[in-house]
Amino acid sequence: MLGKLTAQPGDKILELMQKFREDPRPVKIDLGVGVYKDATGRTPIMRAVKAAEKLWWEEEGTKVYTALAGDPGFADAMIELILADTLPRSHIAAAATPGGTGAVRQAFELVQMANPEARVFVSDPTWPNHLSILDHLGMTAIPYRYFDSATGGVDAQGMLDRLAELRPGDVVLLHGCCHNPTGANLNTAEWQAVLTVITEKRALPMVDLAYQGFGDGLHADAAATRRVVAQSPEALIAASCSKNFGIYRERTGLLIATTQDSGKTPLAQATLAHLNRQNFSFPPDHGARLVTRVLTDPALRADWQAELEEVRTGMLALREGLAAELQRLSGSDRFAFIAQHRGMFSRLGATPEQVETMRARSAIYMVGDSRINIAGLNAETVPILAKAMIDAGV
């Protein structure tokens, strides 16, 4: 049987990481992997998380399974962080998952159970794993125009034109903030226009919220998701704690299902628990306990928010520094969009050939579509990247 398996496509980012490790040059820059790094290249454990972990180590008295949907306190704390008072708790079902990826997978399976004919409309481009999971599940993915490579912004009209093709029961996958891989976000008016079409077409909005706090702040980054939930009869949210709590390896996520009809909540909650049971039974708990402690302890929460703000403003400073250096070298403001993007990522507009040139000449590693992880830079490497871009003809 094993001999009948077919080779699966390689992961381009993992392949890029391997090439980076094998590069012997003393000065090299990794802008490919989507993990936050500080100025020294480390991914540190946040202060509040470390403190919460010490407290939990002292208090934890058992390693017995948690509930199928995870610890209720974790769901309550995350729902408050993401939705605040947008909907009463009785209108919200939630289940802990192995990371944001687990939440995305469970959401797609929930859609498939409810409507096997549902098509999922995804931004072009989007996080590659969205498409990979949909393909694995045999679900139909419909791309909608999103990124305008000429301006570095959102092609809102192109997006609306494709969403006009929605059918009742289809799903629209939206990035709640800090769009991956482009860094370009819808503005308030564009969000409203998109929501109007989704509602009129009786489609289901699904929000992937992986970077809350990395863009314009915790509350600002949740504003679009709250608008979606407030205006939609039903909505799904796949939330990740990997980035904003820095607990990548703890695989901590939450799938949220909201409805304006609280009578539907019990069935939705039971279905989320059922999906967990089928896929991995009980969800991981350690990371969820740490997040819960941080969010419910006033002192820890204040320290976490302060450190998260340092992370956010640090990335903004790198964006502004890169845009300014490119303007100085090129004598043009054509790279101003980099400072306007939000989150860890931006798409520079370089061709695959130019990306390869920067790797060969300057040991700068980025994905072939020129998506870069801004957090992979520091004050010393910003000028190196800017010069390499200009020299490569970007």
DSSP string of 6-46, one letter each residue: -PPPPPHHHHHHHHHHH---SS-EE--S-----TTS--PPP
Helix (H) or strand (E) holding 209: strand 204-209
Look up residue 237 and give its two tokens: 């949210």
Average pLDDT of span 114-119: 97
**Cβ neighbour number for residue 326 with a 10 Å cutoff:** 26
pLDDT at 369: 92
**Confidence label for 315 from pLDDT (cuts 50, 70 and 90):** very high
Domains of the chain, start order: 11-45+305-391 (3.90.1150.10), 65-296 (3.40.640.10)
In our burial notation (b when 16+ CB lie closer than 10 A, e otherwise), range 73-83 reads ebbbbbbebbb
Is 210 an active-site residue? Answer: yes
Is 243 an active-site residue? Answer: yes
Taking 90 as the threshold, does the pLDDT of residue 169 lie above it? yes
Q: Which of 30, 37, 107, 127 is catalytic?
A: 127
Look up residue 215 and give its two tokens: 């863009």
pLDDT at 128: 92
Q: Which of 52, 77, 156, 210 is catalytic?
A: 210
pLDDT at 15: 87
Look up residue 1 and give its two tokens: 């049987």
Q: Which of 208, 221, 285, 369 is catalytic?
A: 208
State yes or no: cis peptide before 125, omega within 30 of 0.
yes
Rg of the chain over Cα atoms, rounded to whole angstroms, equals 21
Q: Which of 191, 238, 243, 257 is catalytic?
A: 243
Looking at every residue in the chain, the average pLDDT score rounds to 96
Nearest-angstrom CA–CA distance, 358 and 390: 10
φ/ψ (deg, to 5) at 281: 65, -110
Is 161 an active-site residue? Answer: no
**Confidence label for 316 from pLDDT (cuts 50, 70 and 90):** very high
Block residue for tokens 């482009």: 182
187-223: per-residue pLDDT in tens?
A: 999 999 999 999 999 999 999 999 999 999 999 999 9
**Confidence label for 249 from pLDDT (cuts 50, 70 and 90):** very high
Average pLDDT of span 304-326: 98
Decide: 316 and 324 in contact? Cβ < 8 Å. Answer: no
Nearest-angstrom CA–CA distance, 263 and 19: 53
Is 127 an active-site residue? Answer: yes
Taking 90 as the threshold, does the pLDDT of residue 380 lie above it? yes
Nearest-angstrom CA–CA distance, 271 and 279: 12
pLDDT at 72: 97
